[in-house]
Amino acid sequence: MIEHVENPVLELHNLTVTYDNKPAVWNLDYTLPAGKLIGVIGPNGSGKTTMMKAIMGLIKPSSGYIKLFGRDLADVRDKVAYVPQRGSVDWDFPVNVYDTVTMGRFNRKNLFKRINNKDKEIISDAIKKVQLEAFAKRQISQLSGGQQQRVFIARALAQEADLYLLDEPFAGVDAATENAIISLLKEMKQQGKTIVVVHHDLQTASKYFDWLVLINTRLIASGKTEEVFQKEILEKTYGGRLQILTQVAELLKQQGYPVREKKRPKG
């Protein structure tokens, strides 16, 4: 099932990305609505991270194209914020929490702007929203994994974007941090923001997200969660992974059954 929307905030048309002539994502074609909390799910190695990097212009597609707010990324970059996987960041870089979040106030056009009082208010508010006020002057290398994740979410918040792309923001964080992050994302949605999240936990996927994109190299389904979070579609997405399929079937029989894949570097 693929539900297309009018006036999409994000649209992919026949998007293919290859590595060594092998497709990481193949012919992705879908549109996403504005003002929703959207989950991207699929097995490890299915191309989720590759797709996010292509949307952000970090990887060049082999074919197809992407539109954000009906335009090219270069025209709307200020409207789009990206939170990469925590494992892809150099956490030994000598910078503290406040300065990291401050980076969200800069873009390619104003790298040398002066930080004014309004900027400082936005930065402080972003740090407060992720509950890191007490750590503002701490080096990011000295933070826990969950705190590091929240720092980069705060940096994205400071950008005051309209579309947020988060690649596995719940990976390696404890339950309290995960609850704090999802509460913040839901609050952002209430403010009219669109949030797209690469996610691994099937149990919480149906609870967290209004809309789901299911991919396994190619697009399996995209639509309202209640319409696409179905046994047949999940089996098609996770086909060939018998242990996962067994857990998925069990998940659909009884609520509250934990289903988590083991994390691998490549998404």
Residue among 108, 113, 23 at smallest CA distance from 57: 108
Q: Is residue 145 exposed (0-12), middle (13-18) or buried (19+ Cβ within 10 Å)? A: middle
Length of the chain: 267
The pLDDT, as a whole number, for residue 108 is: 47
Are 143 and 151 spatial neighbours (Cβ–Cβ below 8 Å)? Answer: yes
Per-residue confidence (pLDDT) for residue 239, from 0 to 100: 78
Q: What pLDDT, on a 0 to 100 scale, did the predictor assign at position 251? A: 60
Question: Per-residue DSSP letters for 80-123?
Answer: EEEE--GGGS-TTSS-BHHHHHHGGG--TT-TTPPP-HHHHHHH
Token pair in block for residue 241: 């992974």
Q: How many helices (H) and strands (E) does the chain have?
A: 10, 9
Closest CA to 159 of 55, 73, 69, 78: 78
Identify the pLDDT of residue 107. Answer: 64
Cα 56–chain centre separation? 11
CA 155 to chain centre: 14
Residue 109: both structure tokens together = 């056009």
Which CATH number is correct for 10-93+161-253, 3.40.50.300, 2.60.40.10, 3.40.50.11540, 1.10.3720.10? 3.40.50.300
pLDDT digit of tens for each residue in the chain (267 aa)?
Answer: 788 888 899 999 999 999 888 889 999 999 999 999 999 999 988 899 999 999 999 999 999 999 999 999 999 998 999 998 876 667 677 889 999 999 888 764 465 667 788 889 999 999 999 989 999 999 888 888 888 888 989 999 999 999 999 999 988 788 888 898 899 999 999 999 999 999 988 889 999 999 999 999 999 999 999 999 988 899 899 875 535 545 555 565 554 544 444 444 445
Of the chain, the end-to-end C-alpha distance in Å amounts to 22
- pLDDT for position 41: 95
User: What is the structure's pLDDT at 21?
Assistant: 81
**Could you say which DSSP state residue 114 is in?**
P
The pLDDT of residue 248: 53
Residues 190, 209: contact at Cβ < 8 Å? Answer: no
Q: What letters, b where the CB count within 10 A reaches 16 and e where it falls short, cover 174-200?
A: eeebbebbbebbeebbeeebbbbbbbb
Amino acid 247: pLDDT? 57
DSSP state of 262: P
Rounded to whole angstroms, the Cα distance separating 252 from 229 reads 9
